[in-house]
Structure 1
Amino acid sequence: MELSPQGSLTTVSRTLQRLRHLDPASHMKLMLSYSVQIASGLQHLHSKRMLHLDLKPDNILCFVENRVKLCDFGTSKNLTRTDTVASGRCTVQYAAPEVLIEEDMECDGRVLPAPKSPNTVSVATDLYSLGSVLCELFSGKAPWGDRNHFSICAAISRGASPNILQHPWPSNCPQ
């Protein structure tokens, strides 16, 4: 693996938010470039019949000349067979519902039942995470905001989704 002197997208995002305010046009151009590169990396992975299953800003490395690459394939799975979710091996803010709701959970004194059949992961699982990453990339805020992991899981188990229109989107980004 090559050295990423700039670190992960999480580290670089602080600088990106400053750029967003100083030069909105350059910020948007860079965000679109990053988005295409991340999606292309995911498409390449899927073309090899693999799922990432933990796509998040920490797992996207930034390089010189505004290049980004996916990393940390520790939770990835091969698509050649139907696979069920591995428990507790994802980042809740970016994980698809089928990854999170896999066992009964207690919330506010009541039990939230798990699905009757095992959840299977697919390309859609990674695409959900991609959408979450892009939401944060453009708005500067994770899809579920500052909610804790249990609160996010409970909301998803009730069928809720994050209200991303409340995020601080760039003025030159149509909603």
Structure 2
Amino acid sequence: MDQYHRLSDASADSSASDHSMNISAGVIKVLKKHGYTIKKELGRGGSGIAILVEDTEGDPFVVKQMNSRDGEELDTVKKEVEILKTLNFGYVVTYVDSFEDKEAGRIYIVMEFCEGGDLSKIMETQKKESFFEEKQILYWLVQICLALQYLHERRVLHRDIKPQNVFLTEDDYISLGDFGCSKALERDDEYACSVVGANLYVSPEVYEKKHNSKSDIWSLGWLLHDLCMLDVWVSIYFFSQ
């Protein structure tokens, strides 16, 4: 288990408090051009930034600014957009819009803002008090299962089920998000062949490069374990073809 480590209270607090507005003027200009005003930075990774914005009517949205200068990375982002465009379900994060800044090599994906945050942050807060009640866990679990059922009926594999990718709305409803690792299959008996996702949550057959919708269920099992035990993990990602 040396590849995994729990997210410490210190690192969680650091992440939660890092709302610096270190966003380039180019990003601000592009978002303003499309009618969005930046409120704050929500998170930052190797491939881009998540930004909370408001439209001209004051409604909040999340914009994922993805770097796209690398051809392979650009293809991955475009596939994510194409999958998001096909999804319309109450327990899946809603796609709003997307646009590209070709000169700067950036793609922007506008999505529903989930005011409740993600499950990993909620679990960290809950650890300071007590375990979740069983009925609360079941309430969330049923909604995640319905989201996965919706995806799998459309031959879409999420491939990155973990607390950080399960969001809550203001009314405590689940919204499954982050489809950067997802894959759309062409037929029911097809298998995905790439190794992606947070390695704590991926099923054994993923490493054999032959997996299908059942692998999402394996990941869901780990997520259920985390909700019951309040274990929050950070793990290395594997990306290979």
Alignment TM class, shorter chain as reference: 0.5 to 0.7
SS in 1 for 2:174: strand
Q: What does 1:24-173 align with in structure 2 at a 5 Å threshold?
A: 27-81=133-187, 82-87=190-195, 89-99=196-206, 101-102=207-208, 119-141=209-231
- Indicate yes or no: 2:120 matched with 1:10: yes
Which of the pair has more CA radius of gyration? 2
Q: Which amino acid aligns with 1:14?
A: E
- 1:20-74 deviation line (CA, Å, top 9, x unaligned): 35xx6xx222111011111111111111111101111111011122211110111
RMSD (Å), alpha carbons:
2.5
**TM-score normalised per structure 2:** 0.47
- From the superposition, tell whether residues 92 and 39 of structure 1 become closer, same or farther in structure 2 (CA, over 3 Å): same
Mark the runs of 5 or more structure 2 residues left unpaired by the alignment.
1-110
Q: Which has the higher helix share?
A: 1
SS in 2 for 1:61: strand
Q: Whose relative contact order is higher, 1 or 2, with alpha carbons under 8 Å and at least 6 apart?
A: 1
Distance in 2 (CA, whole Å) between partners of 1:17 and 1:30 is 15
Residues paired across the two proteins, number: 126
SS in 1 for 2:179: coil
Distance in 2 (CA, whole Å) between partners of 1:67 and 1:38 is 10
**TM-score normalised per structure 1:** 0.63
Mark the runs of 5 or more structure 1 residues left unpaired by the alignment.
103-118, 154-175
Q: Which has the higher strand share?
A: 2
Distance in 2 (CA, whole Å) between partners of 1:56 and 1:90 is 9
| Identical aligned residues as a percent | 32
Distance in 2 (CA, whole Å) between partners of 1:15 and 1:29 is 18
